[in-house]
């Protein structure tokens, strides 16, 4: 006797059926993102430096960690690293350390290759974007720019260059009675736009006549010529003033030696004087000259004294601005700071 077979049909809420133990074409597979992993972005102290991310996936599926590039930081380690979706209530921690970037140096030159402004140093966080710009006041002279003026800060120094077709300085008109006064010990230079100061500085509280001036084309810096190859920029600690001498009084000074100490200056008063009567040397560069004055802050003369030259000082006089002047045996005056008294 044979066993009677009957057809079996299995139903799971209509999701699939089986006839004669063969899956029907209606079978569908359910895919569920049933594992959630939270990814944290923290610094070495565990402080959040970027918003955390939650990723979802099917159990044991491959897990791709969402790495982030965070300006100012570099990835240093990973805590709770995993490559598949398995339950992890703690989450994954991407730990970043603070990282300084190198600067971007921007040069502004004329067509001769000479700098027309101080280099600009752009600074920012690592991987942060930067944009360099030409000088606004010289933009219409621009003839060459960097191939790409934008980029990202990295751990290496980057350089960019802008080139302009224009002269770096122009003449600047000044009053014939213009003087500068130092408010600190200040540097002087052998030529305008020079970056290397001369060895000796101008002392605090001294006053100097201006013979001519030039202005940098790309900014408001004015260079004052104090005689010969001595220049001082307006960016130094100085003030300018107009010192006018009454011409009628000056005409009376035919012989400064014949005048008393009380009559040598019409702008400042003499507060002290002292006889010296000895030879001293001029403390200045041997290839440069000191200007002679008929009277302190009065008329300047074509007479010059070379550095290291020996001169004879008759007396010293101090004015109420605390400047000290030496009266020489030839009747001229120079400031005592230039003498090895």
How many CB atoms are closer than 10 A to CB 3? 4
- As a residue count, the chain comes to 341
Long-range CB contacts (< 8 A, 24+ apart) of 195-198?
Answer: 198/230, 198/285
| pLDDT at position 303 over 80 | no
Higher pLDDT, 150 or 16: 150
> How far is it, in rounded angstroms, from Cα 103 to Cα 122?
6
> How far is it, in rounded angstroms, from Cα 210 to Cα 232?
10
Chain center to CA of 300? 39
Percentage above 70 pLDDT, the chain: 83
The model's confidence at residue 11, banded by pLDDT at 50, 70 and 90, is: very low
> How far is it, in rounded angstroms, from Cα 79 to Cα 203?
63
328 near 341, Cβ under 8 Å? Answer: no
> How far is it, in rounded angstroms, from Cα 37 to Cα 57?
9
Q: Can you read off the two tokens belonging to residue 72?
A: 């100012």
Q: Which fold is adopted by the domain 35-98?
A: Ubiquitin-like (UB roll) (3.10.20)
Higher pLDDT, 122 or 71: 122
| pLDDT at position 17 over 50 | no
Q: What is the pLDDT of residue 54?
A: 95
Q: What is the pLDDT of residue 335?
A: 86
The model's confidence at residue 44, banded by pLDDT at 50, 70 and 90, is: confident
SS3 content of the chain, % helix, strand, coil (to 5): 5, 40, 50
Q: What is the pLDDT of residue 108?
A: 93
Q: Can you read off the two tokens belonging to residue 2?
A: 């044979």
Please write the tens of the pLDDT for every residue from 126-185. Answer: 888 999 999 988 887 888 999 999 999 998 899 999 999 877 788 899 998 899 999 999
| Strands 35-43, 92-98: pairing kind | parallel
Please write the tens of the pLDDT for every residue from 176-227. Answer: 889 999 999 999 999 998 889 998 888 888 888 899 999 987 778 999 998 8
* DSSP secondary structure of 96-134: EEE-PPPPEEEEEEETTS-BSSPPEEE---TT-EEE---
| Strands 178-182, 207-209: pairing kind | antiparallel
DSSP state of 71: T
How many CB atoms are closer than 10 A to CB 17? 14
> How far is it, in rounded angstroms, from Cα 36 to Cα 14?
29
Higher pLDDT, 55 or 229: 55
CATH number for the domain formed by residue range(s) 104-164: 3.10.20.320
| pLDDT at position 3 over 80 | no
Please write the tens of the pLDDT for every residue from 62-90. Answer: 999 999 988 888 888 899 999 899 999 99
Give the residue-averaged pLDDT of 113-126. Answer: 87
Q: What is the pLDDT of residue 245?
A: 59
Higher pLDDT, 22 or 42: 42
How many CB atoms are closer than 10 A to CB 242? 10
Q: Which of 29-33, 58-62, 306-310 has the lowest mean pLDDT?
A: 29-33
DSSP state of 280: E
Who contacts 206 (Cβ-Cβ below 8 Å, separation ≥6)? 181, 182, 323, 335, 337
| pLDDT at position 23 over 70 | no
Asked whether this chain's domains 35-98 and 104-164 adopt the same fold, the reply is yes
Please write the tens of the pLDDT for every residue from 243-295. Answer: 875 443 443 343 333 333 343 444 567 777 888 899 998 887 777 788 888 88
Q: Where are the domains of the chain?
A: 35-98, 104-164, 169-242, 254-338
């Amino acid at each position: 006797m044979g066993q009677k077979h009957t057809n079996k049909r299995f139903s799971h809420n209509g999701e699939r059926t089986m006839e004669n133990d063969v899956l029907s074409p209606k079978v569908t597979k359910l895919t569920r993102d049933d594992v959630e992993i939270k990814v944290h972005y923290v610094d070495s102290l565990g402080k959040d430096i970027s918003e955390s991310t939650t990723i979802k996936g099917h159990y044991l599926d491959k897990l791709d960690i969402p790495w982030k590039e965070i300006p100012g930081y570099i990835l240093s380690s990973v805590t709770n690293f995993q490559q598949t979706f398995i339950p992890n209530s703690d989450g994954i921690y991407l730990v970043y350390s603070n990282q300084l970037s190198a600067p971007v140096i921007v040069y502004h030159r004329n067509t001769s290759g000479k700098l027309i402004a101080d280099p600009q140093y752009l600074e920012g966080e690592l991987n942060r974007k930067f944009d360099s710009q030409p000088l606004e006041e010289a933009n219409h002279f621009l003839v060459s720019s960097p191939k790409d003026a934008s980029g990202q800060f990295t751990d290496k120094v980057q350089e960019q260059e802008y080139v302009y077709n224009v002269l770096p300085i122009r003449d600047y008109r000044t009053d014939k009675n213009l003087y500068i006064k130092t408010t600190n010990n200040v540097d002087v230079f052998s030529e305008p736009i020079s970056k290397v100061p001369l060895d000796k500085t101008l002392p605090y509280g001294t006053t100097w006549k201006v013979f001519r001036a030039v202005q940098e084309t790309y900014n408001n810096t004015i260079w004052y010529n104090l005689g010969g190859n001595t220049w001082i920029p307006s960016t130094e600690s100085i003030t300018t003033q107009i010192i006018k001498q009454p011409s009628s009084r000056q005409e009376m000074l035919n012989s400064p030696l014949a005048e008393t100490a009380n009559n040598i200056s019409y702008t400042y008063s003499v507060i002290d004087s002292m006889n010296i009567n000895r030879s001293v040397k001029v403390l200045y560069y041997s290839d440069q000259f000191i200007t002679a004055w008929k009277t302190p802050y009065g008329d300047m003369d074509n007479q010059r004294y070379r550095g290291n030259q020996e001169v004879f000082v008759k007396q010293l006089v101090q004015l109420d601005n605390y400047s000290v002047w030496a009266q020489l045996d030839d009747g001229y005056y120079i400031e005592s700071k230039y003498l090895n008294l």
